[in-house]
Structure 1
Amino acid sequence: MHHRDTALDIAARTAAAEPDALAVALVGSIATGTDHPHSDIDLIAAARTDLGTRVLHVEGRMVTLTRKTPTELAAALTRPAEAGAAVPAWRTARLLADPDGILHDLQRRAHTWTWAETDDPDRWAAGELVGLAEEVHKVHGMQLQGRARAAAANRLILALALAAPMAAAHRLLYGSENDLWDALARTEGPAWARAWDTATGLTPAPHHTACRAATDLYRTAATRLAHHLDPADRATVTFAADL
């Protein structure tokens, strides 16, 4: 595919233009060959300085260049919030520049990685529900006040933010957020898929029905995960689910 050849060429030239980077890898759909003509070019650089993410426009393509220290790159494999995407990304990465083998070692570790290397993914996932309890209260309260836009915004926050903790609870590896939504729908089952589609507007429904669908997602997550919390946090999550 011509668009992929162009993307690979841009990736190689962008990597070469980062002379202070310790190593650079191409990840995402272009690395795996599942890209389309508008896919962004995802580059990760191991670096000591200028850390952060830059978004570039190169010859009609969007290039996302993320610079992290080698320590931070390795730590992603131990964090439940990041491992589900990081592990498959490194397994399929194309190493564009790696003179000291930093990314080669990381890729090798990703190939042998298991969820046992993360820090209690169930407890992390359950902990996310504590913070999201506020969104449940907002959906409920904004509906009572007739503030439809605010309720709609918070129901969308719920539907989107619940995906990562539920993926960790199911031990899903998804590579990209673009794959997360379908992977979770297949794993959690038809009830979750219907509620998510309704909450996000993929399936047209009245506003109050869509809000109820979002809180149904929260209730499902609470049923699965609340027992991993201490009593005080469990009470917070259970109260929100009961709304």
Structure 2
Amino acid sequence: MHHTLHATQVAERLAAELAPTTLGIALFGSVANGTDHPASDIDLMIAVASDPGVEVCQAEGRMAVLTRKTPADLEAAFTHPWEAPAAVPAWRYARLLHDPTGLMARLQTEARAWTWGPLATEADRWAAGELVGLAEEVHKVCGMLALDRPRAAAANRQILALQLCHPMAAANRILFDSENDLWDALADAEGPVWAQAWDKAAGVTEADHETGCRAALTLYRLAAAKLDAHLSEHDQSIVRTACDLAAKT
């Protein structure tokens, strides 16, 4: 499609400008795999020796996100359960634009050979641990409903609906090239009970405010049931208390 060709050409010109100060450049995301739309941003992953960070710029009418990481950080993404689900497919489908030392090709090869096996236990523990932090959002939703503060309850309900998805993706061993794909992939993996609750909590399907809040609390309880065995005894008490509160609301 014309917009994909244009975005790819813009990416190549950006890469040529940036190349002298980098260790490698790869095009990620929807433009790389041809699933972009005319307003899609251009995602460039840039290997640098120092000064990592993220820069957003405009190039020829397109938004470009320039993510700079050191080789060590790029490699580490494959070993972190909070990064690997997105990093692995991004590298698998990346288009390498500048690779003077072969670093980017090596990372792509590693991504294509990557499996969940070595990371499975850590992924479950990390996912379970995320529930502990999100227990606070359960208390907030319940509290704000009791105090008749709908905006505060709605904000925390959205936090639950969105932030539960990344740990649940790790628990379900889901890989996603873009967050645009995460929500549907998780709904498919968890099934209709999760999908219906998420749609109500996130506002995909019509539901009144309190129903949407209770749907978010249902999501938390579903996640807790899946991950309970991976919680420490101390963390179980926190998560179960939040679940009990959610069940009574």
User: So what's the TM-score if we normalise by structure 1?
Assistant: 0.98
Structure 1: runs of 5+ lacking an equivalent? none
- AA in 1 matched with 2:9: D
In 2: Cα distance, 1:200 partner to 1:83 partner: 25
In 1: Cα distance, 2:180 partner to 2:203 partner: 17
CA RMSD, 1 decimal: 0.8
Deviation >6 Å, runs of 4+? none
In 1: Cα distance, 2:62 partner to 2:243 partner: 44
Aligned position for 2:84: 83
Aligned position for 2:128: 126
- Structure 1 segment 13-28 matched on structure 2, within 5 A: 13-18=13-18, 19-28=20-29
Deviations 1:94-122 (A, max 9, x none): 00000101111100001110112326100
Aligned position for 2:51: 50
In 2: Cα distance, 1:227 partner to 1:208 partner: 30
Per-residue deviation at 1:17? 1.5
In 1: Cα distance, 2:111 partner to 2:17 partner: 27
- AA in 2 matched with 1:105: R
The alignment partner of 1:88 has SS state of: helix
Over the matched positions of the two proteins, sequence identity in percent amounts to 60
Structure 2: runs of 5+ lacking an equivalent? none
In 1: Cα distance, 2:11 partner to 2:138 partner: 42
In 2: Cα distance, 1:52 partner to 1:17 partner: 18
The alignment partner of 2:82 has SS state of: helix
- Structure 1 segment 132-211 matched on structure 2, within 5 A: 132-211=134-213
- Would you say 1:65 and 2:66 are equivalent positions? yes
- Mean Cα displacement is larger for which, 195-204 or 109-118? 109-118
The alignment partner of 2:187 has SS state of: helix
In 2: Cα distance, 1:14 partner to 1:121 partner: 36
Per-residue deviation at 1:15? 1.0
- AA in 1 matched with 2:96: L
Aligned position for 2:2: 2
Q: How many residues align?
A: 243
Per-residue deviation at 1:4? 1.0
- AA in 2 matched with 1:93: A
